[in-house]
Each structure stands twice: as structure tokens, then as C-alpha cells.
């Protein structure tokens, strides 16, 4: 995969990310596409299908929130957000800064 160009949103994932972590879909999009310093890291195969790959993206929103976004790569530049949350201090230090 060269890069992610689009996100495919499932309603249940958007709801989970908001209700559990207080992160909006707009903030996820900002962190993934709007942060030139953002980092994408492959973390392995999906549990349900070894052919699918899961990535972590570390980035900042326009408001300055540091987010970790887990993405399932669907192919052809499209990924589905699985979850998103604030980065821990360790993640900020080791994977972003």
C-alpha cells in the first residue's frame, strides 16, 4: 500500500469511536489527511481475514488533539476506521514526535 486516499465509514464504527473515545469523524479525517507529520504503521493482519491488513495512523487534528487511528485497509487506497482515541504520552513521544 502506498497511501490512504479515502476512508470508508461504517455507522457502527463512527458511533463506537464517538461514544467510547469522544472522537468525531471529522477529527479522524483531519488526523489522517490533514497532518503532514502524520505517521502510518502496519501492525498486522486482520483477525477475521488474514488477507486484510490493519494499520495504525498517528496524527494531529486542526485543534491540536493527538490521535491514534486504527485502520483496516480495504484496497485501492481505501481504509475503514476501526477505532480512534487520544494518543498516550508514550505514543506521542515514541511514534509521533
Sign of the dihedral defined by the CA atoms of residues 64, 70, 73, 79, in that order: negative
Could you tell me the pTM of the whole model?
0.89
The whole-angstrom distance between residue 93's C-alpha and the CA centroid of its chain comes to 18
Q: Grid coordinates standing for 11?
A: 455507522
- pLDDT tens per residue across span 40-97: 999 987 777 667 799 999 999 999 999 999 999 998 999 999 999 999 999 999 887 7
6-96 maps to which CATH number? 3.10.450
Whole-angstrom CA distances from 62 to 11, 12, 67 are 23, 25, 11
Question: In the chain, what are the domain boundaries?
Answer: 6-96
Amino acid at each position: 500500500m502506498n497511501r490512504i486516499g479515502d476512508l470508508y465509514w461504517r455507522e457502527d464504527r463512527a458511533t463506537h469511536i464517538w461514544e467510547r473515545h469522544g472522537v468525531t469523524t471529522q477529527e479522524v479525517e483531519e488526523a489522517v489527511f490533514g497532518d503532514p507529520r502524520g505517521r502510518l504503521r502496519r501492525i498486522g493482519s486482520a483477525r477475521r481475514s488474514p488477507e486484510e491488513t490493519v494499520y495504525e495512523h498517528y496524527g494531529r487534528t486542526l485543534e491540536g488533539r493527538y490521535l491514534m487511528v486504527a485502520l483496516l485497509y480495504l484496497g485501492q487506497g481505501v481504509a475503514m476506521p476501526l477505532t480512534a482515541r487520544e494518543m498516550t504520552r508514550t505514543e506521542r513521544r515514541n511514534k509521533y514526535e
